[in-house]
Amino acid sequence: MAKQNRRTQSRNKTRSSGKTTRSQKKSAPRPKPRRPLPKKRAVSLAASPLVEARNSAIHGRGVYAIAPIKKGTRVLEYLGERISHGEADSRYEKKGDDDGHTFLFIASNRTVIDAGVDGNDARFINHSCAPNCETVIENSRVFIDAIRNIKPGEELGYDYQLTWESTDDPAELALYACRCGAKKCRGTMLDKEPTDKREVDKKKAKKKAKKR
């Protein structure tokens, strides 16, 4: 059996204390708010009165809004057992080749969250190519934030951007076909670019910057 690369959800917005890498959209200057906006606190959001898990037309269980959710709301924290990348690899290799199901989420260079163990409802949020949520990493914790207003009854989704490499077996990659049903569905839950290409591009950009 060929060694299977584990697929992990990753490459999400990363924020560490005080610092933000969230891209700032260019827009006309807005009037200053009278009071500073409250900071999102990194309290545990193991459950939320705004959502419930139930059967989904996309896949298995999904998470649905049961009350209006405003854009910017922090809905849930992605919880589960915190393990090393090595442990995540070995758990994944024990799974069958025909199984594209994953509950793994990369929280940092050191930590992967396995929501298959002690996970909360966040583990049931399906992938969407037209997402209404995004994942935000703060201090190695993963949160799910609404990126637009969500009506009761809507299924929550974010872009998994599953990691893959250009050398991976195409038949194996086909296991990650997307069934989100969005008009512009890209047909896969995999990230747009393979990890190895991104690394090469990063190195090239670094070299270029050094030369300047």
Interacting residue ranges for ligand SAM, rule: CB under 6 A: 56, 58-62, 100-103, 123-124, 126-127, 178-180, 189
Instruction: Specify the residue, 59 or 85, whose C-beta has the smaller distance to ligand SAM.
Output: 59
Q: Which option in Zn ion, ligand SAM, none does residue 103 bind, with CB closer than 5 to 8 A by kind?
A: ligand SAM
**In the complex, least distance from residue 186 CB atom to Zn ion, rounded to whole angstroms:** 6
| DSSP bridge pairs for 52 | 64
Instruction: Specify the residue, 46 or 182, whose C-beta has the smaller distance to Zn ion.
Output: 182
Q: How far is CA 26 from the centre of its chain?
A: 24
**In the complex, least distance from residue 124 CB atom to ligand SAM, rounded to whole angstroms:** 4
3 state SS of 102: coil
Per CB under 5 A, residues contacting Zn ion are 129, 178, 180, 185
Q: Which option in ligand SAM, Zn ion, none does residue 185 bind, with CB closer than 5 to 8 A by kind?
A: Zn ion
**In the complex, least distance from residue 15 CB atom to ligand SAM, rounded to whole angstroms:** 22
Per-residue buried b or exposed e for 143-171, using 16+ beta carbons within 10 Å of the residue's own CB: bbbbeeebeeeebbbbbbbbbbeeebeee
Instruction: Specify the residue, 72 or 181, whose C-beta has the smaller distance to Zn ion.
Output: 181
**In the complex, least distance from residue 185 CB atom to Zn ion, rounded to whole angstroms:** 3
Give, in order, the Cα–Cα distances in Å from 146 to each of 18, 85, 89, 103, 111.
21, 28, 30, 20, 24
Q: Which option in ligand SAM, Zn ion, none does residue 92 bind, with CB closer than 5 to 8 A by kind?
A: none
Instruction: Specify the residue, 58 or 66, whose C-beta has the smaller distance to Zn ion.
Output: 58
Handedness of CA 146, 190, 125, 180 (dihedral sign): positive
Question: β-strand 104-106 against 81-83: which pairing, if any?
Answer: unpaired
Element (H, E) at 171: helix 170-173
Q: Nearest to ligand SAM by Cβ — which residue?
A: 60
**In the complex, least distance from residue 5 CB atom to Zn ion, rounded to whole angstroms:** 21
Q: In what order do the strands lie in the sheet with 19-20?
A: 19-20, 13-16, 133-138, 141-146, 74-77
Q: Which option in ligand SAM, Zn ion, none does residue 58 bind, with CB closer than 5 to 8 A by kind?
A: ligand SAM
